[in-house]
Structure 1
Amino acid sequence: MPRDIPVGNGDLLITFDRHYRIRDLFYPYVGRYNHSIGHVQRFGVWADGEFAWIEDDEWEREIRYKADTLVTDVRLVHKGLELELHCSDAVDFHEPVYFRKIVVHNLADRPRDVRVFFHLDLSIAENAVGDTANYDPSTSAVIIYKQDNYFLVNCCDQHKCGIDHWAIGTKRLGGAEGTWRDAEDGKLGRNAISQGSVDATVGFNLQIPAKGEGHLHAWIAFGHAYDEVKDLNRRILETGPERMLGRTEAYWKLWCRKEPVDTTPLPEHVRDLFYRSQLVMRTQIDNRGAIIAANDSDVTQFGGDHYSYCWMRDGALVAYALILAGQSELSRSFFRYSAKCIGDQGYFLHKYSPTGALASSWHPWMLDGQRVLPIQQDETSLVVWALRKHFETFRDVEFVKPLYEPLVAKPAEWILEYRDHNGLPLPSWDLWEERRGIQTFTVASTIGALNAAAAFARDFGELDRAAAFKEGAERMRGAMKRHLYNEQAGRFARLAVPNDDGTYRLDMTCDSANFALFAFGAFEANDPKVIEEMRQLKEALWIKTDIGGCARYQRDYYHQIERNDIEKVPGNPWVICTLWQAQHAIEVASSVDELRKTVMPYLEWCVQRAEPSGVMAEQFHPYTGDPISVSPLTWSHSTFVVVCLHYLRKHAELTGKPMFKPAPDFATA
């Protein structure tokens, strides 16, 4: 089930499913640890002897965010209970605390005793062994802890603070379902403590007049020691949860609109998704620099692993979106994290954990009895390319100085060493992590990296290095034309596999990744070969159903839906692949009218495919449009941001109008 309305602050991330149930709680890193390991954290309401958990079918749900902020706007109606709930969820922008404000509207014409219940099913540090849950009378809260992870659950309304009742017990042992069952009669047993595989349910009572309303604030404070969460609970009570929610809402509005970009050329719904995409991206970025691909634990059931890692390719391309959006602090953090990961060898391995440790991999170190590098070379190349984009935008010399050797010079020298007799990169794994060879995407991104490294070397006065890197890029571009282009097909191969005689066997499968030909500067976007490439890719890979969108490549088997009519449905539509067509259309547009007519349909397609909250998945069902695989995918949102900003830049060029609005004059405001 896709994740929706994620809220976070770079240390703490909370995700929900479509039923508005919390499913993932990541702390103290985004992506590590998931203290729920995907188990449902329930939320229910009792009134007049009747009970309903939020997943019950009778609930009507509207799950969205408040505009331009990471505070949710959720409306829940249960006609049988005669109740309407308005909920606002947020993670404080600074403190590790999750809030939920609930306003309960009594739709009946009689006073009501309404009881709200929250259930926590934690597996602390992703393991249920040795957890403890206890009621803490000094804070009137339930605390769940293990070793250096503490979680304090509390509530208050305008009259009182502290939970009214609680249940603490065992889950998934000896047939025990968990304490959430105790809530269904409206009463909890108040067991004081339990250890092992435990869970807890807390309740809060509201007396609501006829046709009136009541409200409460609930929160989970996160920390590494009892005194830490107790002190945080005290600060919440002193400051007031409503004030903390308000400041968080204001902070995120300031954050996503800090650059005075004139977005009026975008339709309002596209503009809304542009700002929403920046905010969703931020929830997936750890404060120590790791840019996580996705945090959706449901995908674990398909392969025994998840997406809560940093792939350097994804990270570099997301960093490029951050650079365009003016979020220099986050892009700097990513490049510092990258320098920590790369080590002395000059290249990145498959993927990394949020802490910078090497993560799980399926790339072997030996093939056919020969030692090979288990790498995707484009990951190294794109970090070099993105760092240059950062420097050209912000000109932060002091920041780049310590990164020049580990993230520019050494990788570029390794790139020159890791070439074949024609000057092409030696085989590595492709960006889809499925095939090993010499990919057009990898070659194009590596040309971009060598050009970036040459520019850096010139800046640092190392003209010999600059000349070597530039010559390597030019030789690689020439080899790409000679060996990867197929005259008969009129386009580039997606992959070349070396033969024993020094020639190459070309895989001519149409692959959306060949947009890289122009994206990183290997060729101009208006080069006739590039124009024909993009035309053929769209013709072959566009989904010919009412859903539309572009597939990754012909006969894409990952989460494949259509296995027979490949001409109609070559694969599932992906956000990134669809938007790569938009990137090319922007580059070749020669008038405002052409720009709008050729690009806007791709942006509108994304708006149609997004959840009502604005969250976008990795890919979609080609017949129903339902999200498939992880959701949200950070790369989907970053590509939408890139395309919007490229569109606005091109619009400014074509109209002669500035892309940025005048900064406000604070002296006279």
Structure 2
Amino acid sequence: MYREAVVANGQMFANFDKYLSMRDLYFPYVGQYNHLSGRKNHLVVSVNGKISYMDNGWERYFSYKKDALITDVKAINRELGIQLQINDMIHKYMPVYIRKIKIKNLSSEKKEIKIFFYHDFCLNETAIGNTALYHPDLNGIVHYREATYLLISIYPEISEYTISKKEESSLKEIEKGQLSFNPIARGDIDSAVAYKTEVDGNGESEFYYYIVAGHSFDDLEEKLIKLRADTTEHFVEETEIFWKAWLNERKEIKRSIDEDIKELYDRSLLIIKAHMDKDGSIIASADSSIFHRFNKDHYAYSWPRDNAFIVMALDRAGYGHATKKFFEFCVRTLTKKGYFLQKYLPDGSFGSSWHPWIDEKGNPQLPIQEDETALVIWALFSHYQETKDVEFIDRIYNQLARPAAYFMMNYRDKKTGLPMESYDPWEEKRGVLTYTSATVFAGLSSASKLAHLTGNIDEAIKFKEVSEEIREGILNHLYDEEEGRFIRMLVKDKNGKLKKDKTVDASLLAVFFTGLLPPDDYRVVNTVKAIKERLWINEGIKGLARFEGDQFHRVNDKYPGNPWIVTTMWLADWYIAMDKIEEATQLLKWAVERKSQAGLLAEQYNPETGDPLSVTPLTWSHAAFCYTVQNLNKKLYEMGI
């Protein structure tokens, strides 16, 4: 079940489904560890003794408070005559999740209302050895395992609570309408708390439910003391002020750009920020619903590729101070040989992978996607262009830019001048890719400029020369005169000879967006023409697929694949570069039409129904949208529109 809303603060992150259930709760990193792993933390309502789950009889409307990472959700049950106004948030710097609920009685008769909160935690991603207990001093339930402690409580008070073995289940007590006050349980457990109130006819009642995360009982107590001293209401107020101030730092977007595009742009910046960990990683998605559909794995990893595109969008939006942590994270994760591995956990450890370290004949091979190394260096120079912070560049050059540049310079085929084989941006095919080669060109060109900035003139010359050799190699070996366009890649046959893979792939747009060739170069124009002819989906919701025959979450064989936000925005970027403003604007509006009620963008969509596929939200989708809006904004300034 896809996510409808997210809240976060750099060390704590929560996801919610369409039934208002918390499904993912990460702490102490954004993306690590998930203490729910997709399990439901239900919200259950009792009105005059009648129990109602959110999936039956409720109208639900999702949005956010304007310019803030605080939800603004409305749930209405007309049969019960009740409305809930819900605001979810995580404090601006403390790991404290707060759900503010305003109950409105829609009838003229007084009602006895009880709101139950059910918890199904698996702390540190395991059901083994969990303990939950009622703590009288903290006035709440504490779930703990190892150094992870979660305190659950209610202001003004918990009316009822229970803790149970999962096989007995606290849900059974909820369904009976009364919790038993059982004070402790261990193992695979669940728990529940309730708030009881009477609401006069057409009246209202308000309360706060909260979860405080920490590493010990003492840690929880210290945080709770501050929460009580400042008040829960103040925590909500100051967090809303913080988000509005943070968003106000962005650079101006022209008034001539449609309001719905600007609104999604602002929301996207907040969604991107939510996926950024305080220590520098940026996760692709915290939506764990992919787990059961994706080889028992998820997207809560930091991919250098995604992140490079993300930080470029953030830097151009005016958040250069926020992206420095990412480059410092890159310093910690770059291998000593100068390349990045496939993906990383937020703590910097190497993530799961499906890329082998030997080929089919048992020969060693690097299981890398070299674009990830190249794009980070390209993004680093882009960071300098936006911030002009030469001191940061001077400090990080030796640790990041230099080793990465030497790797890219040396990891090449001597005959063609092109990079050696690596995996494509979609992590499926291995070969000498046009896309990867173009990103390496951009990476080395950027490394040359960074070397010049830091006084390393000989290296600047050397990196520039190699980038030009790669450029010539691309034009000589990866442009197919017969096809009249660039090909996806060169791959080795059984005899070790290179053969052409002519599959049309949206990532071929890299020959334009990396600066390898101008957008109006005939080779670029021909390639874009093939991409539009072969990958544009003419039926249903339309949009641009990744490549011909894409099988990932495939819906119907009559389509080349499913439409992606990222690929469609790449096409929009080309339109902007060609001064085709109307065409680009239509694609931005296409993306706006794809957003969820609350403004979340998925990775890809069902081409027939428009339903989100894979994960929601995908951070890269939001960044791609922002980057295209920025390109449009810049072009409109240039054109004086």
Question: What TM-score comes out, normalization by structure 2 length?
Answer: 0.98
- Quote the residue 1:76 is aligned against: 75
CA distance in 2, matches of 1:550, 1:350: 25
- Deviations 1:437-456 (Å, cap 9, x if unpaired)? 01111000000011111111
| Structure 1 SS opposite 2:72 | strand
Are positions 1:46 and 2:49 aligned together?
A: no
Match of 1:662 in 2: none
1:491 is aligned to 485
Alignment of 1:217-232 (within 5 A): 217-232=208-223
Q: Are the equivalent residues in 2 in contact too, given 1:3–1:15 (CA < 8 A)?
A: yes
C-alpha contact (below 8 Å) 1:346/1:406 kept by paired residues: no
Secondary structure at the counterpart of residue 64 of structure 1: coil
For the residues of structure 1 that align with 2:220 and 2:621, how far apart are their CA atoms?
A: 36
In 1, Cα distance between equivalents of 2:458 and 2:55: 65
Deviation, structure 1 residue 502: 8.0
Q: Which amino acid aligns with 1:338?
A: C
Tell me how far 1:459 sits from its aligned partner: 1.8
Instruction: Answer yes or no: is the 8 Å Cα contact 1:483–1:504 preserved in 2.
Output: no
Partner of residue 408 from structure 1, selected from 401, 407, 422: 401
Alignment of structure 1 residues 230-379 onto 2, 5 Å: 230-302=221-293, 303-367=295-359, 368-379=361-372
Q: CA deviation at 1:535?
A: 2.0
1:24 corresponds in structure 2 to 24
Distance 1:412 1:422, change over 3 A: same
SS in 1 for 2:242: helix
How far 1:162 sits from its partner (Å)?
2.4
Counterpart residue number, 1:544: 538
Question: 1:125-140 to 2 correspondence within 5 Å?
Answer: 125-140=124-139
- Cα deviation 1:316-352 (Å, max 9, x = unaligned): 1111111111111221000000000003111111111
* Other-structure match for 2:428: 434
In structure 1, the residue matched to 2:92 is: 93
Deviation at 1:229, TM superposition (A): 1.2
| Contact map agreement 2:251 2:317 (CA 8 A) in 1 | no
Q: How does 1:462-473 map to 2 (within 5 A)?
A: 462-473=456-467
What count of residue pairs does the alignment treat as equivalent? 638
Contact 2:309-2:620 at 8 Å conserved across structures: yes
Alignment-derived partner of residue 386 in structure 2: 393
After superposition, the C-alpha distances for 1:238-275 in whole angstroms (9 at most, x for unaligned) are: 21212211111121111122134133121111111000
Aligned to 1:476: 470
Q: Is 1:653 aligned to 2:638, yes or no?
A: yes
1:583 counterpart (573, 585, 593): 573
Q: Distance in 1 between matches of 2:497 and 2:480?
A: 14
Question: What is the letter of the counterpart of residue 265 of structure 1?
Answer: S
Asked if the contact 1:294/1:308 (under 8 Å) is kept, the reply is yes
Counterparts in 2 of 1:599-638, with a 5 A limit?
599-638=584-623
Distance 1:501 1:475 in 2: 26
Alignment check: 8 A CA contact 2:381 2:446 kept: yes
**DSSP 3-state at the match of 2:593:** helix
Q: C-alpha displacement at 1:628, in angstroms? A: 0.3
Q: Residues of 2 paired with 1:457 and 1:349: CA distance?
A: 24
Question: 2:523 maps to what in 1?
Answer: 529
C-alpha separation in 1, matches of 2:274 and 2:42: 22
Contact 2:21 / 2:41 at 8 angstroms: preserved in 1? yes
Alpha-carbon distance in structure 1 between the residues aligned to 2:321 and 2:10: 13
Instruction: Say if 1:265 and 1:648, in contact at 8 Å, map to a contact too.
Output: no
Whole-angstrom CA distance in 2 between matches of 1:188 and 1:231: 29
Output the CA distance in 2 between the equivalents of 1:411 and 1:434. Answer: 23
Q: Where does structure 2 lack aligned partners over 5 or more consecutive residues?
A: none
1:519 aligns with 2:510: no
CA contact (8 A) 2:355 2:367 kept: yes
Map 1:96-107 → 2, pairs under 5 A = 96-107=95-106
User: For the residues of structure 2 that align with 1:118 and 1:233, how far apart are their CA atoms?
Assistant: 20
CA displacement at 1:65 relative to structure 2? 0.8
Secondary structure of 1:496's counterpart equals strand
How far apart are residue 397 of structure 1 and its match?
2.0
Q: What does residue 167 of structure 1 align with?
A: 162
Letter of the 2:331 partner, please give it: A
SS of structure 2 residue aligned to 1:220 = strand
Q: What percent of counterpart residues are identical?
A: 36
Contact 1:291/1:315, CA 8 A, preserved across alignment: yes
TM-score (normalised: structure 1): 0.94
Q: What is the CA deviation profile of residues 421-480 of structure 1, one whole-angstrom value per residue up to 9, with x for unaligned ones?
A: 210001111111111101111000000011111111222222221121111111111111
Distance 1:139 1:461, change over 3 A: closer
CA deviation vs aligned residue, 1:32-52 (integer Å, no higher than 9, x gap): 000011100000111112011
In the TM superposition, residue 406 of structure 1 has moved relative to its aligned partner by 2.6
- Is the CA contact 2:251–2:318 (under 8 Å) kept in the aligned structure 1? no
Give 1:147 shift: 1.7
1:68-125 Cα offsets, whole Å, 9 max, x none, are 2111111101112111111111011111000111111111211111111101110000
Match of 1:661 in 2: none
> Deviation per CA, 1:347-371, whole angstroms, max 9, x where unpaired?
1111111011111111111111201
Match status 1:196 vs 2:195: no
- My pick for the range that moved more, 258-267 or 144-153, is 258-267
Indicate the SS of the match to 1:11: coil
Equivalents in 1 of 2:493, 2:114: separation in Å?
Answer: 71
The Cα of 1:501 is off from its aligned counterpart by 8.1
Q: Is the 8 A contact 1:424 1:480 kept in 2?
A: yes
User: How far apart, in 2, do the equivalents of 1:500 and 1:46 lie?
Assistant: 68
Equivalent residue letter for 2:172: R
Tell me the equivalent position of 2:450. 456
One-letter code aligned to 2:277: D
SS at match of 1:423: coil
Q: What is the Cα deviation at residue 499 of structure 1?
A: 5.5
Letter in 2 for 1:179: S
2:110·2:201 contact (CA, 8 Å) conserved in 1? Answer: yes
After superposition, the C-alpha distances for 1:117-168 in whole angstroms (9 at most, x for unaligned) are 1011100000111111111112321111112111111111xxxx32111011
**Preserved CA contact (<8 Å) 2:133 2:184:** yes
Aligned partner letter, 2:83: E
Instruction: Please tell me the root mean square deviation across aligned C-alpha atoms, in Å.
Output: 1.3
3-state SS, counterpart of residue 63 of structure 2: strand
What SS does the corresponding residue of 1:19 show, helix, strand or coil?
Answer: coil
